[in-house]
Amino acid sequence: MSLMNDRPSTPLLDQVVWPADLRKLQPDRLRQLADELRQEVISAVGVTGGHLGSGLGVVELTTAIHYVFDTPNDKLVWDVGHQCYPHKILTGRRDRIRTLRQGGGLSGFTKRAESEYDPFGAAHSSTSISAALGFAVANRMQGKPGKGIAVIGDGSMSAGMAYEAMNNAREAGNRLIVILNDNDMSIAPPVGGLSAYLARLVSSREFLGLRDLAKRLARRLPRPLHNAARKTDEFARGMAMGGTLFEELGFYYVGPIDGHNLDQLIPVLENVRDAAEGPCLVHVVTQKGKGYAPAEAAADKYHGVQKFDVITGAQAKAPPGPPSYTGVFAKALIAEAERDPAICAITAAMPSGTGLDKFGAAFPDRTFDVGIAEQHAVTFAAGLAAQGMRPFCAIYSTFLQRAYDQVVHDVAIQNLPVRFAIDRAGLVGADGSTHAGSFDVTYLASLPNFVVMAAADEAELVHMVHTCAVHDDGPIAVRYPRGNGTGIALPATPERLEIGKGRIVREGRQVAILSLGTRLEEALKAAETLEAKGLSTTVADLRFAKPLDEALIRRLLTTHEVAVTIEEGAVGGLGAHVLTMASDQGLIDNGLKLRTMRLPDIFQDQDKPEKQYADARLDAGAIVDTVLTALRHNSTGIGTEARA
Ligand SMILES: Cc1ncc(C[n+]2csc(CCOP(=O)(O)OP(=O)(O)O)c2C)c(N)n1
Ligand SMILES: CC(=O)[C@@H](O)[C@H](O)COP(=O)(O)O
Ligand SMILES: [Mg+2]
């Protein structure tokens, strides 16, 4: 079978478009089908890049679920959804699987709009049990058959929302089935007490004989499950410990069982499906990256990969370029921590993504990976700050959304000096709308006491990390984008920026572009074009979305004919604050042409950043158009519009 990135030959998989086709197969054919499915996933992701390790780990589980349950009537909800590629191939989307994460192609996560087999969208973790519970209870209330099935990983079980849902699960009785996919991995190795508990469940003290096990089961599980017990050796292993935590929450705990062994998965899932009582939690043990040697051998199990050669596993390398913003942040924070023992750092299960893996290597005792628990991360940081530490909470813009009340209630109202390092701010490309960092300026700059900065380039980021480090007067945030910097030289010595002060990068007279963050590069390109059209253009890097540099903004708005704000953020950010200030101070009473440029009020699909920027109309061309349109705009006032 050729694997050179073309479609491998898959005689059985070719017969399966939908789960109904799968269910026509004899059980003893499922092994071959799973093997072919795994090869198809490897082949497809070799072409598209994306999330590989987690999908490889659930090939058998996906096959078994669609074989046993009546999907789409039984609602299957994948947690995070990054492991959904095998699921998409088995649910009518194999023909498009090589369009994954590309504009107009398949989403890299589950998506309601894409298929009835995706009853619930995902991408942010730990939502699946709540959603599956919703489906289950709705079916019960409507007298309909149909289960809610949540497949949630061990990493995703570290978020509080999973326990909120399990606490409520009795509502659904036997209509709710939770499948815990335990591969002993998050993106990094999992952390915390839960991970230790699951490890104990899996590596039980002694291997009970099935006979003893069967007796134990008789006391614990609904009748139909007894048969499964006799069929699966792995039951014995788990029952030695019992899933006490889950049982105390009202679940029938079943497992742990081998999540790659279809001969065990099928009977257990059939019995759980037919159990008279519930809810049930089935604990399956899998291997992230299973069945692909380069993934199995990798420390991250090929969690997220670029396109790769499926024969060697070698990933496509981006051409060498400037350092990433993440790397510059980590290096700058290490320098701050060398100067100040109060500096510490917190990540919510994203050490490599935030660069805190590097910080942790330098300062292991001052680095905290709290698991997928952003709400806890923020309030933990607030506690650290209240007791005199200088915590940096490094959380992607999109994931910080999950901790908004903690930001308001525990940090802003108490005016605690938590530093927020907001990575992936702005558009992120292929992860699409669920991961775009569109809203952090909108949701932070509206909070009293907050200082909100945006780095225009990596040199500015170094200054802003230092400014955060030494700022003890309350909460402060610096946002910066995914990807590489501009290549500008990094400062040998970081400067402490004056809070609320922007800077003029280019002096002109007629047009003023007020830029926030990395759109500065496009603003300067636009200024060149405008200058060539005879329009003298000023470019300011405001640096702060809060507090605004009111003196600078007032000077620009009262001395230029057209002013344009630009930011890589949603409505309600910098532009809104400048408009509010201008309105409050009567700066728009005298015919000033003031326009704001921001992300469009839509959720953008997966795509490449450059296309997303063009679609968002946030590039130099769009700035020029906005200025010229404003200048052409008839300034005779409302009466004209009325007569037009
Ligand atoms: C709220 C939230 N925080 C962080 C992430 C980033 N993230 C994506 S997958 C993942 C690890 C998930 O681990 P697990 O649930 O065990 O799934 P596995 O990858 O092991 O299959 C993380 C931290 C996320 N998707 N959502
Ligand atoms: C599935 C998930 O949420 C993460 O894997 C995310 O895709 C990482 O994003 P970056 O690739 O920007 O680190
Ligand atoms: Mg896991």
Task: Kindly report, residue by residue over 247-277, the tens digit of the pLDDT.
Answer: 999 999 998 999 999 999 999 999 999 999 8
Residue 307 pLDDT greater than 80, yes or no: yes
Q: Is 231 a catalytic residue?
A: no
* Predicted confidence (pLDDT) at residue 95 exceeds the cutoff of 70: yes
Q: Which of 125, 184, 401 to mutate to test the pocket of ligand 1 (most atoms within 8 A of CB)?
A: 125
pLDDT of residue 404: 98
CATH of the domain at 621: 3.40.50.920
Mean pLDDT of 22-44: 98
Three-class SS of 367-415:
EEECCCCHHHHHHHHHHHHHCCCEEEEECCHHHHHHHHHHHHHHHHCCC
CA 284–ligand 2 middle distance (angstroms): 24
Element at 177 (helix H, strand E) = strand 176-182
Specify the pLDDT at position 6: 67
pLDDT score at 2 = 44
- Work out the number of other CB atoms within 10 angstroms of the CB of residue 583: 12
Helix (H, G, I), strand (E, B) or coil at 257: strand
pLDDT of residue 204: 57
Shared domain for 282 and 401, answered yes or no, is no
CB atoms within 10 A of CB 532: 9
Q: Is 35 left (phi over 0), alpha (psi -120 to 50) or beta?
A: alpha
374 catalytic per annotation? yes
The residue contributing the CA closest to ligand 2 atom 1 is: 82
Nearest ligand 1 atom to the CA of 58 is 21
- Would you say 325 and 484 are in contact if contact means Cβ atoms under 8 Å apart? yes
Q: How many domains would you assign to the chain?
A: 3
Does the structure show a pLDDT above 80 at 230? no
**Does 642 score more than 50 pLDDT?**
no
Q: Residue 265 is encoded by which pair of tokens?
A: 């998965």
Do 455 and 514 reside in the same domain of the chain? no
- Which of 93, 237, 288, 301 is catalytic? The answer is 288
Report residue 207's pLDDT band, with 50, 70 and 90 as the boundaries: very low
| C-alpha 290 to ligand 3 mean position (Å) | 12
- In this model, does residue 13 exceed pLDDT 90? yes
* pLDDT over 50 (residue 1): no
- Ligand 3 mean position to 584 CA, how many Å? 52
pLDDT digits over 397-438, tens only?
Answer: 999 999 999 999 999 999 999 999 999 999 999 999 999 999
pLDDT for residue 644 is more than 80: no
Atom nearest to 183 CA in ligand 1: 20
- Determine contact, residues 467/475, Cβ cutoff 8 Å: no
Q: How far apart are CA 635 and CA 640, in angstroms?
A: 9
CA-CA distance, 484 to 383, in Å (whole number)? 33
Is residue 492 a part of any domain in this protein?
A: no
Residue 412 and residue 377 in one domain:
yes
Strand, coil or helix: 590: coil
- How many CA within 13 A on the CB side of residue 548? 22
Residues 273 and 413 in one domain: no
Q: Residue 394 sits in a domain of what CATH number? A: 3.40.50.970
Ligand 1: residues with CB < 6 A are 54, 57, 80, 82-83, 123-125, 153-156, 183, 185-187, 288, 348-350, 372, 374, 399, 402
Please tell me whether residue 61 adopts helix, strand or coil conformation: helix
Give 326 Cα–ligand 3 centroid separation in angstroms.
24
Report how far residue 238's alpha carbon sits from residue 216's, in angstroms, rounded to the nearest whole number: 11
Cβ < 6 A, ligand 2 pocket? 51, 80, 82, 123, 187, 304, 353, 424, 428, 431, 482
User: 3-state class of 151 per DSSP?
Assistant: strand
pLDDT tens, position by position, 349-403: 999 999 999 999 999 999 999 999 999 999 999 999 999 999 999 999 999 999 9
Phi-psi bin for 313: left (phi > 0), alpha (psi -120 to 50), beta? left
Query: Which percentage of the chain shows pLDDT scores above 90?
Result: 84
Read off the amino acid at residue 450.
F
Q: Closest by alpha carbon to 193, among 271, 131, 245?
A: 245
Q: What does pTM read for this prediction?
A: 0.93
Strand partners, 451: 476
In this structure, the residue with its CA closest to atom 5 of ligand 2 is 304
The protein residue with its alpha carbon nearest to ligand 2, atom 8, reads: 353
Q: Is the pLDDT of residue 234 over 80?
A: no
Range name among 28-37, 78-87, 606-615 with the lowest pLDDT average: 606-615
Domain contains 495: no
Indicate the average pLDDT of the chain.
92
Q: Please tell me the predicted confidence (pLDDT) of residue 219.
A: 47
| Residues 30-48, mean pLDDT to the nearest whole number | 98
Say which residue the tokens 């909800």 belong to: 77
**103 or 283, which is more confident?**
283
Among 88, 98, 402, 419, the one annotated catalytic: 402
Contact status, residue 399 vs residue 374, Cβ threshold 8 Å: yes
H or E element at residue 564: strand 562-566
169 Cα: distance to centroid of ligand 3 (angstroms):
22
Do residue 358 and residue 418 come from a single domain?
Answer: yes
Do 177 and 53 have their domain in common? Answer: yes
What is the residue-wise DSSP string for 487-524?
A: -PPPPSS---PPTT--EEEE--SSEEEEE-GGGHHHHH
- From the CA of 51, which ligand is nearest? 2
Q: Tens digits of per-residue pLDDT, 465-519?
A: 999 999 999 999 999 999 999 999 999 999 999 999 999 999 999 999 999 999 9
- The ligand 1 atom at the shortest distance from the C-alpha of residue 187 is 11
Structure tokens at 165: 């849902």
Report the C-alpha gap between 493 and 489 in whole angstroms.
Answer: 12
pLDDT at 209: 31
Distance from C-alpha of 100 to C-alpha of 304, rounded to nearest angstrom: 13
What's the angle, vertex CA 245, arms to CA 243 and CA 246, rounded to 5?
A: 70
pLDDT tens digits for 553-564?
999 999 999 999
pLDDT computed for residue 202 by the predictor: 81
On whether both 616 and 581 belong to a single domain, the answer is yes
- Determine contact, residues 155/371, Cβ cutoff 8 Å: yes
d(C-alpha 517, C-alpha 497), whole Å: 15
Establish if 1 belongs to a structural domain.
Answer: no
Average pLDDT over residues 178-189: 97
- Supply the pLDDT for residue 170: 92
| 174 in Cβ contact with 279 (< 8 Å) | yes
Please state the residue numbers annotated as binding site for Mg(2+).
154, 183
Q: Say whether 288 is catalytic.
A: yes
Question: Do 374 and 254 lie in a common domain?
Answer: no
Does 563 lie in the same domain as 438? no
- Order the strands of the 343-347 sheet from edge to edge: 367-369, 343-347, 390-394, 419-422, 476-479, 451-454, 544-546
Is 465 inside any structural domain? yes
Specify which residues 419 forms β-bridges with: 392, 476
| Residue 559 domain-assigned (yes or no) | yes
CA angle at 24 for the pair 56 and 254, rounded to the nearest 5°: 55
> Same domain, yes or no, for 361 and 213?
no
User: Which residue ranges make up the annotated binding site for thiamine diphosphate?
Assistant: 82, 123-125, 155-156, 183, 292, 374
Q: Is residue 583 part of a domain?
A: yes
What pLDDT score does 242 carry?
Answer: 58
Looking at the fold, whether 535 and 473 belong to one and the same domain comes out as no
- Dist. CA 46 → ligand 3 center (Å): 22
Is the per-residue pLDDT at 637 higher than 60? no
Q: Whose CA is nearest to atom 11 of ligand 1?
A: 186
Respond yes or no on whether the N-terminal peptide bond of residue 222 is cis (omega within 30° of 0).
no
Partners of residue 151 on adjacent β-strands: 78, 179
Q: Are 154 and 190 in contact (CB under 8 A)?
A: yes
Grouping H, G, I as helix, E, B as strand and the rest as coil, residue 321 is: coil
The answer to whether 431 and 603 are in contact (CB under 8 A) is no
pLDDT by residue (tens digit) across 530-546? 999 999 999 999 999 99
pLDDT of residue 556: 98
Mutate to test the pocket of ligand 2, among 300, 326, 435 (most ligand atoms within 8 A of CB): 435
Q: Among 77, 156, 398, say which to mutate for ligand 1: greatest number of ligand atoms within 8 Å of CB.
A: 156
Element of type H or E holding 285: strand 280-285
Q: Is residue 4 part of a domain?
A: no
| Whole-complex ipTM | 0.99
Ligand 1 atom showing the smallest separation from residue 350 Cα: 23
pLDDT band at 552 (very low <50, low <70, confident <90, very high): very high
Nearest of 115, 114, 117 to residue 433 by alpha carbon: 114
Sign of CA dihedral 312, 318, 322, 326: negative
Q: What is the mean pLDDT of residues 238-248?
A: 69
For a mutational test of ligand 1's pocket, the pick from 186, 198, 302, 423, i.e. the residue with the most ligand atoms closer than 8 A to its C-beta, is 186
Burial class of residue 329, CB neighbours in 10 A (0-12, 13-18, 19+): buried
Give percent of the chain above pLDDT 70: 91
Domain containing residue 404: 325-479
Would you state the pLDDT for residue 225?
54
| Averaged pLDDT for residues 195-207 | 71
Residue 97 within a domain: yes
631 pLDDT band (50/70/90 cuts)?
A: very high
Which atom number of ligand 1 is nearest to the Cα of residue 54?
21
What pLDDT sits at residue 401? 98
Based on the domain organization, do 554 and 455 belong to the same domain? no
Please state the atom number of ligand 1 nearest to the C-alpha of residue 182: 16
Judged by its nearest atom, the ligand closest to the C-alpha of residue 151 is 1
H/E stretch holding 558 reads: helix 550-559
How far, in Å, CA of 517 to CA of 14, rounded? Answer: 49
Amino acid (one-letter) located at 501: K
pLDDT of residue 226: 53
Catalytic residue, candidates 114, 374, 460, 522: 374
How far, in Å, is the centroid of ligand 2 from the Cα of 53? 13
In which band, very low, low, confident or very high, does the pLDDT at 607 lie, cut at 50, 70 and 90?
Answer: confident
Strand locations in 29-163 (E): 50-51, 75-78, 148-153
Strand order in the sheet with 503-506: 503-506, 537-541, 511-515, 562-566, 593-597
pLDDT at 227 over 90: no
Closest ligand (CA of 349): 1
pLDDT at site 205: 33
Q: How far apart are CA 576 and CA 560, in angstroms?
A: 19
Q: CB under 8 Å to 95, separation ≥6 — which residues?
A: none
